[in-house]
Structure 1
């Protein structure tokens, strides 16, 4: 990847609906070479998809909790079963395996604390190999980026 590729990624992260004509202008290329680079970035996996950022307040998913999960075992089968089950739960926005005093950290979005309590009891606590959970209610989201920091080679 070169500087122009990074500039394309930067512009697309800022506005996924940018037209090819506008993108070409912003990265100082003509339309055809710019479109070819975008296709190459998509094919290589550098661009994995496009999405719309939805306001969680409007769709009643603004209640955020972070959940530490400790498993009863960490065999390959335990981890695979837990990972597969987590992927099927839409309220779990992210799941990260971590090193330390617990095994996973979940970011969960629900309508309110009652909705989370129901999800915890009926779903999260019933996930494969779950031994215990610790929940931390988010009082304020200070920063929650979905874009990636790109190398400083952008010249910005």
Structure 2
């Protein structure tokens, strides 16, 4: 069994992160192996759960979702049942790009994408504010993206 982060697997993962649709022959050439061992390594990393899937990454800008807001949410109840109710409901809001449970002065941080301020206000009023157990929110509008990554460096 190959180590998940041996140098060849690292190169394979770097190539797949850059272009998951790269033909296996090109990938093999890029990492210096033939097709069969590269395919076996990929299959092994999938079976290990290191590679969890492949997907199309859409451009929020091309979809017209140019307005980014970070929302801090405080909830009224932090018992497990209440948190699970909030978690289930937040996953149903398509404008929510990311949501994290956070320690500190608030309970959740949300990255929300919308078309404009009017759309943002609608999402806040009709979706975020009506979530189970929400007591208050604070919003921060992003002015400019300095770094945006959709992958982790290896």
Rounded to whole Å, the distance in 1 between the matches of 2:47 and 2:97 is 26
| Alignment partner of 1:136 out of 137, 140, 143 | 140
Aligned pairs for 1:4-153 (under 5 A) are 4-150=8-154
SS of the residue 1:81 aligns to:
helix
Tell me the distance in 1 between the aligned counterparts of 2:46 and 2:119: 38
Per-residue deviation, 1:148: 0.4
Aligned length: 150
- Unmatched runs of 5 consecutive residues or more in structure 1: 151-156
Q: Which runs of 4+ in 1 moved over 6 A?
A: none
Q: For 2:83 and 2:130, locate their aligned partners in 1 and report how far apart those are by CA, in whole Å.
A: 14
Could you tell me how far apart the structure 1 residues matched to 2:17 and 2:70 are?
26
CA displacement at 1:51 relative to structure 2: 2.1
User: Normalising to structure 2: TM-score of the pair?
Assistant: 0.94
User: Equivalents in 1 of 2:35, 2:131: separation in Å?
Assistant: 49
CA drift at 1:50: 1.6
1:45, distance to aligned residue in structure 2 (A): 1.5
| SS of aligned partner of 1:10 | helix
Structure 2 portions without partners, runs of 5+:
none
Where 2:129 maps in the other structure, the secondary structure is helix
Distance 1:98 1:111 in 2: 26
Q: In structure 2, how many angstroms separate the alpha carbons of the residues matched to 1:70 and 1:109?
A: 20
Partners of 1:7 and 1:18 lie apart in 2 by: 13
